Amino acid sequence: MSETSAGPGLLDGLLVVDFSQFLAGPLAGLKLADFGARVIKIERPGVGDLCRTLYLSEIEVERTNTLFHAINRNKQSYAANLKSDDDRAKVAALVAKADVVIQNFRPGIIERLGLDYESVRALNPGVVYASISGFGAEGEWRDLPGQDLLAQARSGLMWLTGDADQQPVPIGLAIADQLAGNFVVQGVLAALLRRARTGEGAHVETSLLEAVLDFQFEVLTTHLNDPERKLPRRSAINNAHAYLAAPYGVYRTSDSFVAIAMTPVDALGRIVGCEPLAALTDPQSWFDRRDEIKATLRDHLLQNSTAHWMRLLQAEDVWASEVLDWPALFRSHGFAALNFLQDLDLGDDQSITTTRSPIRVDGHTLTSSRPAPAIGQHNELIEQEFGLGG
């Protein structure tokens, strides 16, 4: 079992050298570390990962933003100036022994440093090398800044979110980065499985744009196979999915909100006591009269509390949920049962609370109390262990 994780270390003994910064690449490294891999983060001396100082909010811990702590826990840091011949030689010696290498530089930069896939493969033929870019390695967008909001904007995703009269609405998380990081882990694990069978390494590539396009596969497939190529039409009222019929959406009640997913409108009308909806027995009308139906349901649900409606809906096994904010979520027994939070030990009686891996293996959750490293914290240890010289 890895010293840095609880539960089965499925990737114990695996060495990952990670050149990536900020979110997508470091997230991939985090997921591998959660499975027990040893992840060595290569950082610029004195500066480190851009994520250390590019703040998610005004909240910081130990003069570093909370995102960096969350996404770089359970890793080691090796500080090296990749423009220095001596430092680059040390790093090359390290990647020669790595099982996995991760990088998310803009296309062309890693090649200039002599640490691209072909160069690393010459040193280490069995390496699994993962590259994440903003918009792919080819095409007119290849050299543009690869950032989450920009990937959402170019992908068409923003036209699915928000009501019909709203401007394009981004998803309020760095979804492109997080999807790309997780997709890289999928590719890396598949490549490692092939290497175990054949000894052959691989170059695994994705981009923020491709990750968000894949995220839309359901609706893109619908659009591409429509003879008229009609664009999705967002609902004018409580839009939650541009292609789905009423009642799909989030509705205000007398005291909060309730979310209702795919449910026959006539059955829903009978359950909540709304006669106009109970009379709509033709499923086609649930599409054609979507906004009218949602307006009727909106007005009806305002008449009583979320608890009242949820009692009725849950009694009939309707796909519905109260809408919780974070304090309400944390108070719930359902969240408590997940045991989803963990504390990272910063030393000197300080800690930072974050989430754990969402995966269980053989009944074990994957947790770690090791915090994100300081810049170059493990240089001496790594140089001695791998014989990198002084």
Residue 211 token pair: 């990750």
User: Residues of CATH 3.40.50.10540 domain(s) within the chain?
Assistant: 15-215+343-386
Phi (first) and psi of residue 210, to 5 degrees: -65, -35
What's residue 6's pLDDT?
A: 55
Task: Give every residue of the chain whose pLDDT is below 50, as ranges.
Answer: 1-4
- HSE toward the beta carbon, residue 345, CA cutoff 13 A: 8
What's residue 54's pLDDT?
A: 75
Per the CB < 8 A criterion, the answer to whether 238 and 285 are in contact is no
Q: State pTM to two decimals.
A: 0.92
Provide CATH code, domain 249-331.
3.30.1540
Give the right CATH number for 15-215+343-386 from 3.40.50.10540, 3.30.300.90, 3.40.640.10, 3.40.50.300: 3.40.50.10540
What's residue 2's pLDDT?
A: 40
**CB neighbours of residue 17 within 10 Å:** 27
β-strands 38-43, 364-365 pairing: unpaired
User: Residues of CATH 3.30.1540 domain(s) within the chain?
Assistant: 249-331
| Cis amide bond preceding 358, omega within 30 | no
Question: Annotated active-site positions, please?
Answer: 241
